[in-house]
């Protein structure tokens, strides 16, 4: 009898030790994203004013994707690509305020299947965060969440695990990192690897900052005296303010976010977790028009040109990335899910993906990466739903937001969400600004004044997209247009729920 008990206890201990050993081998993963943080708004990319010492250090010591793209020129769609590895139009996340669909498979589902604890902290904006919502962080695979339906400033009100909003006094980036550290530590104490997603509310307008951060930008040039429109922190309505005042507050937010990232990195070192933790940072789209200064790239947030989608892309993983590296291959938020699948030894979801696996780039410095498929961007024309009675994909009551924010929309200081069932496909469904990048060649298509316009650029010699080569190279432009149309057809098939 005692022999059988001892044998049983030994078996349990062996399983526990094996589980702990397996968890120790898997890396912790921290995936962070700024809100409206464009490529040029970092010290390491040469910005004339903004101070980002931590991001600069990450770029100098880790892996710097010099050509990293948000999956879309706007926030909700990019977040959908970040989570699923798929273009957001495949699931009807067309523009800000349009939700995911509950059938989507996310990085959190994948990581949890591999034995990870999964946590989301900060901006969600792909569905309501309340517990009843099937597209809340909990509904989409996260074990814990402290989240907001949209963006937030100082002293945010956040929902913990889908409950009623709670006030969290302080600087928002610092709050998110503090909560994320607690989650990482608890997971580690329970011998579990962790996937931690931190989506900052900064530097999205309306802007605000701590006095010590505002003081860093008190001497911006007087040339920034033109007026820009943005949200008033006092009324929630649109207001016109001098650009210099706006930039001072925006840069204060970026610096505070940068400092919070530094606190996370320092804690990982002190806890002995830094070596085998992947730390990633990117933005969700290009710089917003109210804050855009001169950039080497064309466009701003909400535009299909380079500055609408190019964002910082940094990775640290000391166990594998032991020397600084600069990667010029173009990569995207859609690449995160395929990469995570490889890193945690899980199969890819059985459905069309638009991202690629970057694990070899992270793990092997001898790899010279070449992107095997094009990068594609598409801003679906939501006027498609005007004049018809679309069928909601989810009960609208489940799509109602709860967390307060400053900016009014339809008279409300919160956000509700939309997603529709796709009607039969028509020619109009292919419309909207769109582009395809193959190597260094980029084709941009957009309907303007009733006519489809073609712009063809060689990004190797013209990263600012200043010279349209469509008339000089019509055959190549037509070839890329055909490939783009074929990809759109695949996306529209997904949009009709063919993948579920």
This prediction has a pTM of: 0.94
**Mean pLDDT estimate for the chain:** 93
233 vs 340 pLDDT, higher one? 340
Q: Which residue has the tokens 């949200």?
A: 231
Where does the pLDDT of residue 348 fall: very low under 50, low under 70, confident under 90, or very high at 90 and above? Answer: very high
Looking at the predicted structure, is the pLDDT value of residue 24 above 70? Answer: no
How far is it, in rounded angstroms, from Cα 170 to Cα 175?
7
Looking at the predicted structure, is the pLDDT value of residue 294 above 80? Answer: no
CATH number of 378-390+418-495: 3.30.1120.10
Cβ within 8 Å of residue 153, ≥6 positions away: 172, 201, 206, 207, 208, 233, 406
Query: Cβ of 483: how many Cβ atoms within 10 Å?
Result: 15
Looking at the predicted structure, is the pLDDT value of residue 476 above 70? Answer: yes
Q: By percentage, how much of the chain surpasses pLDDT 90?
A: 87
The structural domains of the chain, with segments of one domain joined by +, span 25-371, 378-390+418-495
Looking at the predicted structure, is the pLDDT value of residue 360 above 70? Answer: yes
82 φ/ψ angles, rounded to the nearest 5 degrees:
-60, -45
Q: What is the DSSP string of 149-190?
A: SS---SS-EEEETT-SEEE--S-HHHHHHHHHHHHHHHHHHT
Per-residue pLDDT tens digits for 422-463: 999 999 999 999 999 999 999 999 999 889 999 999 999 999
SS3 state at 309: helix
SS3 state at 3: helix
Looking at the predicted structure, is the pLDDT value of residue 391 above 50? Answer: yes
27 φ/ψ angles, rounded to the nearest 5 degrees:
-75, 145
Cβ within 8 Å of residue 88, ≥6 positions away: 71, 72, 76, 77, 78, 80, 81, 94
Retrieve residue 239's tokens. 């207001």
Looking at the predicted structure, is the pLDDT value of residue 192 above 70? Answer: yes
4 φ/ψ angles, rounded to the nearest 5 degrees:
-65, -40
434-438 and 144-148 beta bridge pairing: unpaired
Per-residue pLDDT tens digits for 111-123: 999 999 999 999 9
Q: Please, are residues 363 and 370 in contact by the beta-carbon 8 Å criterion?
A: no
How far is it, in rounded angstroms, from Cα 281 to Cα 199?
10
CATH number of 25-371: 3.40.720.10
Would you call 61 exposed, middle or buried from its count of C-beta atoms within 10 A (0-12, 13-18, 19+)?
middle
How far is it, in rounded angstroms, from Cα 420 to Cα 352?
20
Q: Please, are residues 173 and 426 in contact by the beta-carbon 8 Å criterion?
A: no
Looking at the predicted structure, is the pLDDT value of residue 367 above 80? Answer: no
Retrieve residue 159's tokens. 């929902």
List, in sequence order, every beta strand (DSSP E) within 38-185. 63-65, 68-69, 117-123, 144-148, 157-160, 165-167
Per-residue pLDDT tens digits for 130-151: 999 999 999 999 999 999 999 9
Averaged over 62-73, what is the pLDDT?
Answer: 98
């Amino acid at each position: 009898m005692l022999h059988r008990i001892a044998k049983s206890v030994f078996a349990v201990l062996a399983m526990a030790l094996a589980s702990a050993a397996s968890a120790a081998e898997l890396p912790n993963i921290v995936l962070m994203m700024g809100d409206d943080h464009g490529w040029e708004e970092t010290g390491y990319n040469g910005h004339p004013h903004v101070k980002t010492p931590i991001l600069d250090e990450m770029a100098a010591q880790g892996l710097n994707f010099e050509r990293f793209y948000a999956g879309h020129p706007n926030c909700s769609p990019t977040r959908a690509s970040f989570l699923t590895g798929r273009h957001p139009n495949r699931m009807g996340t067309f523009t800000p305020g349009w939700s995911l669909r509950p059938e989507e498979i996310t990085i959190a589902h994948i990581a949890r299947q591999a034995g990870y604890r999964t946590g989301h902290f900060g901006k969600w904006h792909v569905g309501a965060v309340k517990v009843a919502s099937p597209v809340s962080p909990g509904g989409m695979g996260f074990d814990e969440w402290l989240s907001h339906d949209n963006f937030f400033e100082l002293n945010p009100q956040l929902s913990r695990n889908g409950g009623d909003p709670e006030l969290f006094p302080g600087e928002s980036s610092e709050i998110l990192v503090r909560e994320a550290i607690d989650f990482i530590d608890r997971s580690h104490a329970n011998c579990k690897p962790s996937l931690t997603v931190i989506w900052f509310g900064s530097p999205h307008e309306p802007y605000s900052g701590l006095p010590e951060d505002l003081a860093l930008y008190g001497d911006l040039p007087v040339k920034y005296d033109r007026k820009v429109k943005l949200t008033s922190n006092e009324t929630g309505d649109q207001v016109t303010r001098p650009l210099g005042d706006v930039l001072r507050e925006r840069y204060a937010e970026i610096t505070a976010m940068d400092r919070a990232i530094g606190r996370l990195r320092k804690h990982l070192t002190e806890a002995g977790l830094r070596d085998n933790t992947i730390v990633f940072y990117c933005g969700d789209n290009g710089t917003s028009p109210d804050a855009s200064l001169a950039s080497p790239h064309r466009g701003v947030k909400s535009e299909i040109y380079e500055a609408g989608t190019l964002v910082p892309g940094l990775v640290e993983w000391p166990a594998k990335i032991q020397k600084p590296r600069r990667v010029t291959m173009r990569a995207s938020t859609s690449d995160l899910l395929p990469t995570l699948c490889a890193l945690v030894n899980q199969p890819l979801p059985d459905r069309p993906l638009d991202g690629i696996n970057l694990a070899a780039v992270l793990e092997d410095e001898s790899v010279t990466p070449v992107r095997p498929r094009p990068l594609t961007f598409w801003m679906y024309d939501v006027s498609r739903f005007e004049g018809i009675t679309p069928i909601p994909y989810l009960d609208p009551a489940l799509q109602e937001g709860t967390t307060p924010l400053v900016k009014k929309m339809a008279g409300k200081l919160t956000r509700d969400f939309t997603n529709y069932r796709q009607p039969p496909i028509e020619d109009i469904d292919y419309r909207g600004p769109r582009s395809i990048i193959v190597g260094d060649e980029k084709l941009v298509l957009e309907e303007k004044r009733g006519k489809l316009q073609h712009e063809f650029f060689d990004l190797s010699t013209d990263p600012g997209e200043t010279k349209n080569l469509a008339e000089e190279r019509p055959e190549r432009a037509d070839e890329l247009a055909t490939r783009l149309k074929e990809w759109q057809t695949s996306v529209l098939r997904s949009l009709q729920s063919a993948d579920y």
